Chains A and B, each alone.
Chain A
């Protein structure tokens, strides 16, 4: 949807690129090539630049019509693509000459119902074009169908004596157009060459990663048909200015001491910068301390709009959640290994994914431009935010971590809350009294931070309960419990993790003491004890493991001065 864009005043630091694109709309200026390849990493602002340009042409220019089309996996079948392309063009054409965006926005009106409007505008050539297209559809000739659709802007320009600027977003996806089954008609993308040869119809093409788009223009009939324009990351000062201005609008005080390093991590990507500012507002942050920034980042990259953006990219190229999961596993493997994927059988065994599914995921990622000829794209892999999104998706989809935990872990990766403290990890066997090893260890830990003896005793009780709870609930052959005790300046976090059956603390009902006193079974104090002593008790399912997280905020009267 070309009108789904940010306000022009918030679209900063792209003035030069916009001015250059405007030259395409000028009949007399021959300084610019007829076609432009807009290159840059995903999220860097290529689509936004197209939309801003579209809006300018739509409202401000006479004799120049914009046409925006975004390639999608759902319409990769040649006949579907041809219909979608032509319909989009007709709608946008009518919207432009009537200066009425509702023709574009209301996609439910079929082409047939637009015919009276086309007639009333005396666009006879368009009626002929649509009728011819329907005749071709009946013939079943897919090449003719595609040609019929993509020649529409050229026909319009010639018939009306205007220029039609064709903006093809995610153009490399067109390399995967097919007739009946994926891969059965390589080369259909070459049909666009003819339309691009028409000087009345300049094309602006985008694609990520840049290598894929470029290869189309080096290795095929497109050679020499376009010039390249790189959309780069915002420089540091522009990134800071954008972030500060957004924060100001959202009434978040931007601490300029804290944000530069954070903005550098975002790589000057305007999409990320905007999303982060919004995340601060959504999380009700009033300032941008380093801690606040990374806390919000943890949310943004795991559940926020940035996560949604990358999930949409994956969702666009993978049909269902199972395929997305495989794709996430594969991406994680590529990120971790830092090398390509050349030995499918070996990786299939290592990841426990059938080779067929792995190849399917790999092909999908190639179409999405996230991997290039075997390796995860180097340009994308420099994107720390994308890597964190992959990590977050992996923790959630594959490891089964809760969204909260994923958010915390990503935030802690960048801003370890335990900077001033320490972390102790112990693994104990499930044998009688092994829990006392942990309890005794905590005595030393508690003393180290001057914790009052009574408080140490209570935490020891919690540790003992947590361990014996794991002993009792584990149905696994692996008779081990891992305990992690993390000390933060004002917080203690105990995590016990063990394989075996999950228990839902919500389903555990607490019996009142009066009843318990006279009951046959007087047990069932463990969870109640943990809840009463600790400030937070969470139980999570991590793959086949159960993780119990116990958090205690340490108050000043619980430690001696």
Chain B
């Protein structure tokens, strides 16, 4: 299955869209994409899971790398459209490290408010 990561910037925030199956290879691409923004000094990110079809445990571990990296650099990572995976992330205890919003607009609004403070 093809995996694609697309992204855009909205103000000082990067919005990243993983599509397809988040496994080891795809996870590496996602990490790479996020790192490239961090290297550019963008530390506010929104991960929109709306196009994500499947995920596996390796994908989850790579997601954890992104969380760690952004936390370490004082950034903020928001997750949106994760309803299909919410319960699983909660089971694994991941949600306490995630800022979750219903959709991209809500996440961007939150990040906008944060940057205004």
Give the residues in chain B near A453, CB-CB below 8 Å.
84
Question: Which B-chain residue is minimally distant from A433 (CB atoms)?
Answer: B1
Candidates A439, A458, A523, A524; contact of B88 at CB < 8 Å: A458
The smallest C-beta distance from A430 to any residue of chain B, in angstroms, reads: 14
Nearest B residue to A462 via CB reads B88
Select from chain B the residue with minimum beta-carbon distance to A465. B57
Cross-chain contact of A523 among B58, B92, B94 (Cβ < 8 A)? B58
Within 8 A of A (CB), among B33-61: 54-58, 60-61
- Asked if A525 contacts B92 (CB within 8 A), the reply is yes
- Secondary structure at the B interface, as helix, strand, loop or mixed, is helix
> Are the CB atoms of A532 and B91 closer together than 8 Å?
yes
The stretch that binds B, out of A293-301, A357-365, A511-519, is A511-519
CB 8 Å contact bits of A453-466 with B (1 = contact, 0 = none)? 11001101100110
A180 touches B (CB below 8 Å): no
Is residue B105 within 8 Å, beta carbon to beta carbon, of the partner chain? no
Distance (whole angstroms) from the CB of B92 to the closest CB of chain A: 7
Task: Report the bound CA distance from A532 to B57 in whole Å.
Answer: 13
* Size of A's binding interface in residues, CB under 8 A: 26
**Inter-chain contact A436/B21, CB cutoff 8 Å:** yes
Q: Are A460 and B54 in contact (CB under 8 A)?
A: yes
Which chain B residues numbered 56 to 95 have a C-beta less than 8 Å away from chain A? 56-58, 60-62, 64-65, 67-68, 83-85, 87-88, 91-94
Is there an interface contact between B54 and A458, defined as CB atoms closer than 8 Å? no
What chain B residues lie within 8 Å of A435 (beta carbons)? 56
Q: Which residues does chain A contribute within 8 Å of B58, judged by CB atoms?
A: 468, 523
Instruction: Give how many A-B residue pairs fall within 8 Å (CB-CB).
Output: 62
Q: Known contacts A454-B84, A454-B87: does B92 contact A513 (CB below 8 Å)?
A: yes
Report the Cα distance A458→B55, complex, angstroms.
10
Contacting residues of chain A (275-290) with chain B, CB-CB under 8 angstroms: none
B contacts with A, residue count (CB < 8 A) = 25
The answer to whether B94 touches A457 (Cβ under 8 A) is: no
Taking a contact as CB atoms under 8 Å apart, the answer to whether A513 and B85 are in contact is no
Cβ-defined contact, A439 with B84, below 8 A: no
Q: Is the CB of A458 within 8 A of B92?
A: no
Determine if A526 is an interface residue (Cβ-Cβ < 8 Å). yes
**Could you say which residues of chain A place their CB within 8 Å of the CB of B68?**
517-518
Contact indicator A526/B64 (Cβ below 8 Å): no
Q: Which residues of A contact B65 (CB under 8 A)?
A: 522
**Residues in B neighbouring A523, C-beta threshold 8 A:** 57-58, 61
Nearest Cβ in chain B — how far from A428, in angstroms?
Answer: 14
Contacts of A518 in B (CB 8 A): 68
Given contacts A436-B1, A517-B67, contact A457 B85 (CB under 8 A): yes
Q: Bound complex: CA of A525 vs CA of B88, how far in Å?
A: 11
Report whether A528 and B92 are in contact in the complex, using a CB–CB cutoff of 8 Å: yes
Do A461 and B88 have beta carbons less than 8 Å apart? yes
Question: Shortest beta-carbon distance, A320 to chain B, in Å?
Answer: 45
4 closest pairs, A vs B, by CB? A525-B57, A522-B61, A532-B91, A513-B93
